[in-house]
Amino acid sequence: MNILLSINEKSYAIEAASETPLLWAIRDIVGLTGTKFGCGVSQCGACSVLIDGNLIKSCGIPVSFAVGKEIFTIEGTSETLEFLREAWNEGNVPQCGYCQSGQLIAATSLLDKIHHPSDEDIDTAMSDNICRCGTYTRIKKAIHRAAALKNKSL
């Protein structure tokens, strides 16, 4: 069926089976490959996107769910995401980098909701995202740093 998606404030008219998971619609049909496939069963968070500001694992929802809503992916930009990128850069966080799209999106969702996250807040918000390289301590530090940068700018 014909589907109209809005991703990072840009419209995409695509042809897809309505039950196609949003992840594969974004990657294979729209052609934005920054959002990653990791498990296909909402266990690893590599495919995390924001839909109308809510954190969603895009492998677990049909593309039809996102119609008429605003999808935000790693290819996008927001004030929070830019502070996180700066902090990720400062902390030299990634190793292989593959999971980092999902980590950054999950962290964006966290900082959009909680301005001063505690370690426990970060543990709760980020434990759906697996990093096989094991960069968790750096991610945690970077989130604290990004929060500080963001709060300073307010």
Partner 1 sequence: MSKIQQVNRRDFVKLIGLASGGILLGCNVSTSQKEFVPQEKGTFTPNLFIQIQKDGTITLLASRSEMGQGIRTSLASAIADEMEADWKYISLKQATGDAKYGNQNTDGSRSVRTMLLPMRKMGATAKLMLISAAAKKWNLAETDCEAKNHYVINKITGDQIFFGDLVDEAAKVEVPAQERLTLKKVEDFKYIGKTLKSIDLKDFTHGTAGYGIDVRIPDMKFAAIARCPVTFGTVKSFDQKAALETIGVTDVFKLERLVPPTGRFFGALGGVAVIANNTWAAFQGKMNLDIEWNYGENKSFNSVEFQEKLRKRVHQKGKLVSGSTGNVSAAFKESNNTIEATYTVPFLVHAPMEVPNATAWFKGNEIEVWAPVQDPQTARAELAHFFEIPLENITVNVTFLGGGFGRKSKSDFVVEAVALSKKIKGPVQVVWTREDDIQHSFYHATSVQYLKGSLDVNGQVTGWLQRVGLPSIVSSFKPMSDYASGFELNQGFTNNPYNLTNFRLENVKAESHLRIGWMRSVVHIHSAFGNNSFVDELAFAAKKDPFEFYLNLIGEDRVLEGTSDHPFDSKRLKNVLKTVAKTSNWGKKLPKGHGLGLAVHYSFYSYVATVVEVSSVKDKIKVENIWTAIDCGLVLNKDNVKNQLEGAAIFGMSLAMFGKITTKEGAVEQYNYNDYRMTRMKDAPNIEVTIIDNMDTDPTGVGEPGVPVIAPAICNAIFNATGNRVRSLPLADSGLV
Write the single-letter amino acid at 4.
Answer: L
Residue 67: CB minimum distance to partner 1, A: 17
Q: Locate 92 and state its tokens.
A: 């030299």
Of these, 2, 11, 13, 41, which contacts partner 1 (CB under 8 A)?
41
Task: For partner 1, give the closer residue by CB, 69 or 141.
Answer: 141
Query: Site residues for partner 1, window 64-123 (CB under 8 A)?
Result: 73-75, 85, 88-89, 92, 94-101, 104, 122-123
For residues 32 and 129, what is the distance between their CA atoms, to the nearest angstrom? 20
Residue 125: CB minimum distance to partner 1, A: 8
Query: By rule CB under 8 A, what count of residues binds partner 1?
Result: 57
The contact mask relative to partner 1 for 6-35 (x = CB under 8 A, - = no) is ----------xx--xx-xx--xxx-xxxxx
Q: Locate 104 and state its tokens.
A: 């950054």
Of these, 40, 70, 121, 144, which contacts partner 1 (CB under 8 A)?
40
Buried b (16+ CB within 10 A) or exposed e, 11-32: ebebebeeebbbbbbbbebbeb
For residues 67 and 97, what is the distance between their CA atoms, to the nearest angstrom? 30
Contact 107, 138 (CB under 8 A): no
Task: For partner 1, give the closer residue by CB, 51 or 133.
Answer: 133
